[in-house]
Chains A and B, each alone.
Chain A
Amino acid sequence: MGDEAREEFLCVSRAAASGGLLWRSWDADLYIVYQPSSAETHVFNGPTAAILRTLDDRLLTLDELKSHVEQALGAQRGDLAEADFFAAVHRLDELGLIERVQAADDVR
């Protein structure tokens, strides 16, 4: 993800959120999530789940999101490896669980 991507904001996908995700968690750091819009069941680790929960109905830039997630996980700023964070964001985007919003059409 290059500098260009950093100009974007991320938010929870309207398509995913409109159906409301179903969450279950029995074991530490493991979340099973059902996405009604796609009829898919996902398994997420703690950081990935934290990204979704942190975004909720907010618009955040990648940097803002990352520090919020670190805070939510009780980690120090910069603890979350960039590569892991971007991989999770990329995956959530691919699954239609988060949306990218260009700074230009900022709706804040």
Chain B
Amino acid sequence: MLTRASVDSATRRAQQLLLDAINQPADLIRLSVADWELLVRVGRRARLLGRIEADLAQRGLLHAIPTGAAQHLQAARQVITHRQTLITWEVNRILWALAGSATPLILLKGSGYLLARLPPARGRVFADVDLLVPEEKIGEIEEQLVGHGWFKTEIDPYDDRYYRVWMHEIPPLRHSERGTEIDLHHRLLPRTSRLPSSPEPLLAAAQPLADPRLHVLSPPDMVLHALVHLFLEGDPDEGLRLRDLLDVHDLLCHFAQQTDFWADLVARAGALGFRRPLFYGLRYAQRLFATPVPTSVVQQLAPAAPPRPLLALMDRLIPLALLPEHPDRPRGRATLARWLIYIRAHWLRMPPGLLTRHLSHKAWLRLRGVRKRVDLAQLDLRQQ
């Protein structure tokens, strides 16, 4: 029987391996085969294998690690390269379909990092293209895309209503041949959110890319959006995504080279009402990735901290929800932390009555096994 202490120490070792791999990739060549084996397992769970591969490749160290581990990293890189090609191409085709339209398209998250060539794109899988557009243009854009080969994905009527009435995006559009999805957003947070989410200031500050129809958010807005995404788009199984916090770390390190970035960031967080998420984001990025944050910024944000008992609770819950468990020794505490964080995320997004309705609907879907089960769309294997 495993004692709690041995489970804790196995988990700590797994988590430390992962953080060390991200923070000191050059030291990876000293890992034993057994450590590599564990790192590949937790790295896969945290979807950071591609990041580890990219860091090693950059240093020319891929040949210096055990072959077995290198093959898994290579497999991860293959998927990432492929997905990045698909996302880049999808954006190309969106521009083609919207030819003649002057509406600026703001690429959010992954597709934005990728097309703006920002550091978080390195070794990262992105599933969809996320676009922010003025709300009054949504219908027009949706119509043009549908006229050029995309279709509105069929979702159950509850979800459709949920999206359109309460959310900040419309149900995804999917191309009939390619299968890549486009999420059209008209704001960054649901209408129902307790945090403010007026999109006008974001649209006004967005910065153009090489193709003047494409934009990304301004540096402070991009960091704040990454934080909002991290803390408010929870998933009860996965918890908070460590790689989303890593995106924040990468963006901070990158933009810190620009003069006035930190001052702009703090000011913008105040103006948009995101000082609390920024406080949390900087705190946990510093703790896990040693992100260099100027002391003056930490002091300026100190008043945005939650009351002391809540902060103490968050200091325990958030790392539990962020870091992957040892794959053979999951702990009930971490599962609970993930649920608590998920409920908190939904609390921030929705008024309480709606929250209960949504959670119970999700739970019901889960009991029927509609979500979560992977179906490998492949031939013989599909039929088992």
Contact = CB atoms under 8 A, between A and B. Distances in A.
Query: In the complex they form, do A and B come into direct contact, defined as C-beta atoms under 8 angstroms apart?
Result: yes
Nearest to A38: B89
Interface string B88-121: 1100110010000000000000000000000000
Contact of B85 (A39, A94, A96): A39
Contacts of A40: 178
Interface string A10-49: 0000010000000000000000000011111000000000
A38 B149 CA distance: 15
Interface size, B (range): 10 to 19
A37 B149 contact: no
A46 to B, nearest CB: 23
A108 B149 CA distance: 31
B177 to A, nearest CB: 8
A74 B149 CA distance: 34
B96 A96 contact: yes
A3 B89 CA distance: 30
Contacts of A37: 85, 88-89, 92
B92 A39 contact: no
Contacts of B149: 94
Contacts of B89: 15, 37-39, 96
Contacts of B86: 38-39
B366 to A, nearest CB: 34
Contact of A15 (B92, B148, B178): B92
A94 B86 CA distance: 15
A96 B88 CA distance: 13
Nearest to A100: B99
Contact of A39 (B82, B96, B148): B82
Interface string A59-78: 00000000000000000000
A36 B85 CA distance: 8
A40 B175 CA distance: 14
Nearest to B93: A96
A15 B148 CA distance: 19
A36 B88 CA distance: 12
Contacts of A94: 148-149
A17 B241 CA distance: 38
Contacts of B92: 15, 37, 96
Looking at B86, B88, B89, B178, which has the most chain A CB atoms within 10 Å of its CB?
A: B89
Contacts of B93: 96
A106 to B, nearest CB: 17
Contacts of A39: 82, 85-86, 89
A96 B99 CA distance: 13
A39 to B, nearest CB: 5
B85 A38 contact: yes
A53 B345 CA distance: 55
A38 B96 CA distance: 14
Interface string A66-103: 00000000000000000000000000001010000000
A21 to B, nearest CB: 14
A39 B178 CA distance: 10
Interface string B2-44: 0000000000000000000000000000000000000000000
A80 to B, nearest CB: 25
A46 B86 CA distance: 28
A54 to B, nearest CB: 22
B101 to A, nearest CB: 15
B233 to A, nearest CB: 28
Nearest to B148: A94
A38 B93 CA distance: 10
Interface string B233-274: 000000000000000000000000000000000000000000
Contacts of B88: 37
Given A37-B88, A94-B148, 18 more contacts: A15-B89, A15-B92, A36-B85, A37-B85, A37-B89, A38-B85, A38-B86, A38-B89, A38-B178, A39-B82, A39-B85, A39-B86, A39-B89, A40-B178, A94-B149, A96-B89, A96-B93, A96-B96
10 contacts: A15-B89, A36-B85, A37-B85, A37-B88, A37-B92, A38-B86, A40-B178, A94-B149, A96-B93, A96-B96
Identify the 3 closest CB pairs spanning chains A and B, nearest first: A38-B89, A39-B85, A15-B92
